[in-house]
Structures are given as C-alpha cells and as structure tokens.
Amino acid sequence: MSQLSFQGPGAFRGPYAPPGDKSISHRAILFGALAEGESVYENFLEAEDCLHTLEAMRRMGIEIHHEKGTGKVRISGKGMHGLSAPGQELYLGNSGTSLRLLLGILAGQRFEAVLAGDPSLSGRPMRRVTDPLKRMGAQIKGRENGNFAPLTIRGGKLRGIDFDNQLSSAQVKSALLLAGMYAENRTLIREAIPSRDHTERFLEAAGAPFQKFGHDLVIEKTEMLLPMRARVAGDISSAAFFIAGAAMVSGSEVTLQDVGLNPTRTGLLEVLKRMGAKIETQVTQTIPEPMGNIHVRGAKLKGTGITPQEIPSLIDELPVLMVAMALAEGESLISGAAELRVKETDRIHSMVVNLKRLGASIDELPDGALIRGVEEFHGATVESFGDHRTAMSMGVASLAAKGTITVMDTACMATSYPAFMEHFRRLLKS
C-alpha cells in the first residue's frame, strides 16, 4: 500500500500555479462531445477523475485527441444526438461528477448503458439524481431502487420537470440541466443556496436556450451547442491546500497564479479572511470563468463559525479548513455540512479521527465539527480513508507538526491532483 511521510514543521514559500479545475475539466469534455464541431481546451486536468469522463465519451464514439502531459484536449463534437451505445460498461473509478453528469446526458439517449465505479463510488447515494431523471422519463435500474452503482440507464423521450435542489448539489443540478436539453418542455431548477455554476456558464457560452431568473434556472429543448476554445482556470480546490497551509503558518508566503475565482467556489477565501488570514486577490479575467492571482502570507489565525449558507461554496475545502481551524486561537464551529459524509469518504469522520491522532481538540457533530485550537500538532500515522482530500489535508497538517506525519494509502491523491507531492516539495521550506 502507498504511503507518504511528511516531516514537520515547515512553511510554504514561492510562486505556485495550480492544475486545471476538476469541475470545469469534466464539463469541457461533456459539452465538447455534444457540441457541433471541434472544441479545444488548454490546462485540462489530467487526473484520474477527468480521464474517466474522457474515456467514457470515447467509448460512446467521440474522437478526443489528448497528448498526455500537455493539458491540451481536442474534442470532435458530434452534436446533441451523435453519441453511440458503448460496447461495454462505462467504468468511472472514484468519480461522482462523471457518474452523475453522465446520467443526465444518458437520460436523453435512445440506447442502454451501464455505469460502474470503485467501492467508494458504488456506496455513494444516487437517488438524488436517479429519482428526478426517472420523473423525466428515463429508465434506471440499480441496487436499492437506483440508489447505488452499477446503474443501468435507458434514456429516450423526456419531459421537463420542476425540481427543488434542496441539497444544493451542483452534480444533481448539472445532471438535470443536461437532461433538460433533451426534454420536450422546459425544465426548471430552483436552488435556495446556490451551488457552483460551471454548468450554467457552459450552457450560456455554448448558446443553449438557458435562462436564470433569480434562484430559478430554466433550460429548454436544445437543438445545438457551439464548440468552444478556452483555457481551464486553475483549481481553487487544489490550490486550497497551499492557500490554507500558507495562511495558517507564520513565515509562509505564496503567490498563486491563474486560480479560478468563480464566486460560487471562493468561500474558503472569505472564511480564512474572517479568521485573520492575510490574503489578497487580483482578478485578471472574468469570462467565461473569473480567474486571478492570490497572495497569501502566514499569520496566527483565530476561530470562526461556518454557516450552512456558506457550505456549498467551500464544500471540497472543508477538510483542509478543519486543519487550519484546529490550529486557530479559540473555537470554530462547522454546521450544515452533512453532505460531507457522502463524499469519497465520510469526510467529517475521517478528519476528526485523523486530527485527534495529531493532538487536535475536535468533536464530531452530525453535520460538522466543533474545534478548539491547539498551538501545534504532534507526529502520528493517519489514514487517507481512500479519500484524496483527506490525504492531502494531512500532508498540509505537517507544516504545524513537531515530528513526522505518515499518511497511509496515498495513491488516491491522483484522483484530483497527481502533482500534489511535486508541488508540495517545491513550496516547502523547513
């Protein structure tokens, strides 16, 4: 089993450019496949999750040119009805985004497909997507009434529905927007707390009949999508390890370049600033996705509360934020984050168990955690729980550790961030 040792303490210093955004890279492939003509992307994230989406589209007859290591992809889109039945099961590894978004597209196809994943993905709830897709007219079968992969889907004629996205899940919203492009009448999605809006931005850029009215999103039957050319913004969720790590350790100073600054994704920056972090951002691009540079200097942070309204904007950053909170002066409270329990692992549990091993003072709550800051961590052996973000967060914790943190089962880092260790070593100054 893979394992990594992180010798603490340390600080991050230097310039840093994060890899391409995972959410945007998935959507680049999906929209590229359905567009009419060639889409070209740079800085595509060459991580396992996004490569599963790419491979799935190839298996449905889409030609995709990808030179490994360059971040460049060229997708020869075949239009809204150009996909063909995959000869075999589509295996999506650990990737919830691949599975849920592909279900949305497959709901509109007149063939059958089987979608499968690794044990973690096969244990994650899917009825949040399969129930509304069935209401639209798709036929979906899987364990426990379509709640767990492997899932067999046969699409066809769909009707639009009204849907209240109470979980504020961008994956659910995106699946229904994608299916909505194939439905006879309009599909309306209401979202009280907005989740990441990358799919909406793709719909707009591709010329789809999509409109936003406050919290209501409306998609109508779509005849054609335009191909696109763009550079994928740097992933703020990957950058988060270096942002939080630099912010929480005095003596750190990191300048991040070309990071995605989509306001539906920047909750981490707001919370860290509230904790007293020294963070400055400079926006350099606004369309199709806001992007810019971030300058972070280390400081002693103070505890804060995170409200349920903030959760969707920092859902993937909570593990590393918990590390920063465990070192902040005073108390921090995370609430309204029950969704963390159904990620690649139960991230509330994985982080509480691991942080306790490092000497943190933290209580597990049903929907979050109560954390009282300590001065420093001690060395220990911790587990990734098979979860990339838990593993990388533990590496970051070593910056404040007196001793060595050994993280077990670290191969999962490649799910979203194959270059994590290379970047970590480059920025680490002991």
Report the distance separating Cα 60 and Cα 137, nearest Å. Answer: 21
Residue 99: its H or E element: helix 96-106
With CB under 6 A as the contact rule, which of the stretches 166-174, 291-299, 351-359, 422-430 interacts with ligand S3P? 166-174
- Please say whether the beta carbons of 343 and 319 come within 8 A: no
CB of 404 to ligand S3P, least distance (A): 30
Q: How many CA atoms lie within 13 A of 149 on its CB side?
A: 26
Q: Counting contacts by CB under 6 A, is residue 169 touching ligand S3P?
A: yes
Strand (E) positions, 86-131?
Answer: 90-91, 112-116
With CB under 6 A as the contact rule, which of the stretches 169-177, 214-222, 278-286, 318-326 interacts with ligand S3P? 169-177
Binders in 236-255 for ligand S3P, by CB under 6 A: none
Report the distance separating Cα 235 and Cα 280, nearest Å. Answer: 17
**How many binding residues for ligand S3P (CB under 6 A)?**
11
Written as six digits, the tokens of 20 are 């391409």
Report the distance separating Cα 64 and Cα 40, nearest Å. Answer: 10
What are the CA-CA distances from residue 375 to residues 173, 272, 303 (Å)? Answer: 41, 18, 13
C-beta of 171 vs 266, nearer to ligand S3P: 171
Q: Counting contacts by CB under 6 A, is residue 316 touching ligand S3P?
A: yes
| 2-41 footprint of ligand S3P as x/- string (CB under 6 A) | ---------------------x------------------
- Please say whether the beta carbons of 318 and 202 come within 8 A: no
Written as six digits, the tokens of 424 are 């970590």
CB of 344 to ligand S3P, least distance (A): 8
Binders in 317-356 for ligand S3P, by CB under 6 A: 339
CB of 195 to ligand S3P, least distance (A): 6
CB of 171 to ligand S3P, least distance (A): 4
Phi (first) and psi of residue 97, to 5 degrees:
-65, -45
- Please say whether the beta carbons of 210 and 218 come within 8 A: yes
Instruction: Out of 109, 174, 332, 354, point to the residue binding ligand S3P (CB under 6 A).
Output: 174
Q: Is 316 a catalytic residue?
A: yes
C-beta of 271 vs 428, nearer to ligand S3P: 271
Q: Counting contacts by CB under 6 A, is residue 171 touching ligand S3P?
A: yes
Instruction: Out of 97, 252, 384, 390, point to the residue binding ligand S3P (CB under 6 A).
Output: 97
| Angle between helix 318-327 and 236-248 (nearest 10) | 0
C-beta of 46 vs 316, nearer to ligand S3P: 316
Report the distance separating Cα 38 and Cα 266, nearest Å. Answer: 31
Note the residues at the interface with ligand S3P (CB under 6 A).
23, 97, 169-171, 174, 195-196, 315-316, 339
Catalytic residue annotation: 316
